[in-house]
């Protein structure tokens, strides 16, 4: 009886000790995060705020600090002439801008979808046990490790309509009746860009999905095999639900990259309206056309579109960054 009386205060004190330890860990984590947040505020937050501010001015590269406030004129300006005709100007009614938005969204949806499927297939193969698996895992990352500029130039030579190896192989094998200008033709430019991006980024998706696959306990599959569950059914009933959190996070990363794609488009198809994205168009107005305020408005809308897409994906996909689904 005396022992139980002495043990009661000790047991009651344990939750308090754990609570204090957790609070200490949270405080330590905040201190460790503070330098990173400060760096982000300097290199990302401040330029973003300045860009948003410039989008409401008439700023130019020659006179950034002498810019005057013009309100929403860069986004939408409605002007009624003496004849009664109404003229709409601004980014929201700019056909070139909406063409770039369409190109970007189409590129993001197609590339991310195919990369997710192919990345899952590659991850499943790499997760299996076979001789030389470590070498194959290292080799599969080579396309992703190559800088995007280098990849784009390499594929530009391969896709060249005069001396590209793909046209040469196609002609020799009888797959092509004539040489194709893959990057110069409006009909094939987007396809060429998608091929290069999928080739380069699928290993990244496979790597993230593979990490999720390796977290699944092996005894679950052993129990399923004992019960006689078909491998295809194992994938849809066991593998896919358990790897879903890793897959959803990987898709978020790729959506963010795909919506702000710039370097691949700029190098591979720099002047094609069929592939021009929001980032490429904003860069042209910011620095080439000396229309800094208009380019800032485009950059601001690009940021808002990315926020909306990511927010909708997280909400509809019920993504939980703590691990698992909501």
| Residue 32 located in a structural domain | no
- Let me know the angle formed at the C-alpha of 312 by 308 and 317, rounded to the nearest 5 degrees: 155
| Residue 182 located in a structural domain | yes
| Residue 51 located in a structural domain | no
In terms of C-beta distances under 8 Å and separation of at least 24 residues, what long-range contacts does 171-178 make, across chains too? none
Predicted confidence (pLDDT) at residue 73 exceeds the cutoff of 80: yes
Instruction: Provide the CA 311 distance to its chain's centre, in angstroms.
Output: 13
| Residue 268 located in a structural domain | yes
d(CA 3, CA 7): 6
Locus of tokens 């460790």: 32
Contact yes or no for 264/148 (Cβ under 8 A): yes
Global pTM reads 0.84
| Residue 36 located in a structural domain | no
Confidence of residue 194 (pLDDT cuts 50, 70, 90): very high
Lowest mean pLDDT among 59-63, 140-144, 154-158: 59-63
d(CA 113, CA 138): 24
Q: What residues make up the domain containing 131?
A: 94-317
pLDDT tens digits, one per residue of 274-285: 999 999 999 999
| Residue 87 located in a structural domain | no
| Residue 180 located in a structural domain | yes
Give Cα separations from 305 to 44, 53, 130, 220 (angstroms): 17, 18, 44, 41
pLDDT tens digits, one per residue of 240-254: 899 998 898 889 989
Residue 105: the pLDDT is 94
The CATH number of the domain where 186 resides is what? 1.10.3720.10
Considering its fold, how many domains does the chain have in total?
1
Residue 121: the pLDDT is 94
Predicted confidence (pLDDT) at residue 84 exceeds the cutoff of 60: yes
Cα dihedral sign, 35-40-46-52: negative
Contact yes or no for 140/133 (Cβ under 8 A): no
What SS3 class is residue 78? Answer: strand
| Residue 66 located in a structural domain | no
């Amino acid at each position: 009886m005396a022992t139980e009386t002495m043990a009661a205060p000790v047991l009651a004190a344990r939750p308090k000790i754990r609570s204090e330890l957790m609070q200490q860990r949270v405080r330590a984590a905040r201190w460790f995060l503070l330098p990173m947040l400060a760096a982000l505020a300097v290199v990302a937050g401040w330029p973003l705020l300045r860009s948003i501010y410039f989008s409401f001015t008439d700023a130019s590269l020659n006179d950034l600090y002498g810019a005057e406030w013009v309100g929403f004129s860069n986004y939408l300006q409605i002007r009624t002439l003496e004849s009664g005709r109404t003229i709409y100007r601004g980014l929201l009614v700019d056909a070139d801008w909406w063409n770039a938005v369409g190109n970007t969204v189409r590129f993001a949806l197609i590339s991310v979808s195919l990369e997710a499927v192919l990345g899952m297939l590659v991850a499943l193969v790499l997760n299996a046990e076979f001789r030389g698996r470590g070498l194959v895992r290292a080799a599969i990352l080579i396309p992703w490790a190559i800088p995007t500029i280098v990849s784009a130039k390499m594929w530009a030579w391969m896709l060249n309509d005069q001396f590209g190896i793909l046209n040469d192989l196609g002609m020799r094998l009888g797959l092509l009746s004539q040489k194709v200008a893959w990057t110069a033709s409006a009909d094939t430019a987007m396809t060429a860009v998608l091929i290069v991006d999928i080739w380069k980024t699928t290993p990244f998706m496979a790597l993230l999905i593979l990490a999720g696959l390796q977290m699944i306990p092996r005894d679950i599959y052993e129990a399923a095999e004992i019960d006689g569950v078909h491998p295809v059914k194992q994938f849809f009933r066991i593998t896919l639900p358990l790897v879903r959190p890793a897959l959803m996070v990987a898709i978020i990363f790729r959506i963010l990259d795909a919506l702000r794609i710039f370097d691949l488009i700029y190098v591979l198809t720099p002047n094609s309206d069929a592939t021009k994205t929001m980032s490429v168009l904003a860069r042209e107005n910011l620095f080439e056309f000396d229309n800094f305020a208009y380019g800032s408005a485009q950059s601001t809308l690009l940021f808002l579109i990315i926020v909306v897409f990511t927010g909708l994906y997280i909400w509809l996909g019920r993504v939980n960054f703590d691990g698992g689904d909501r």
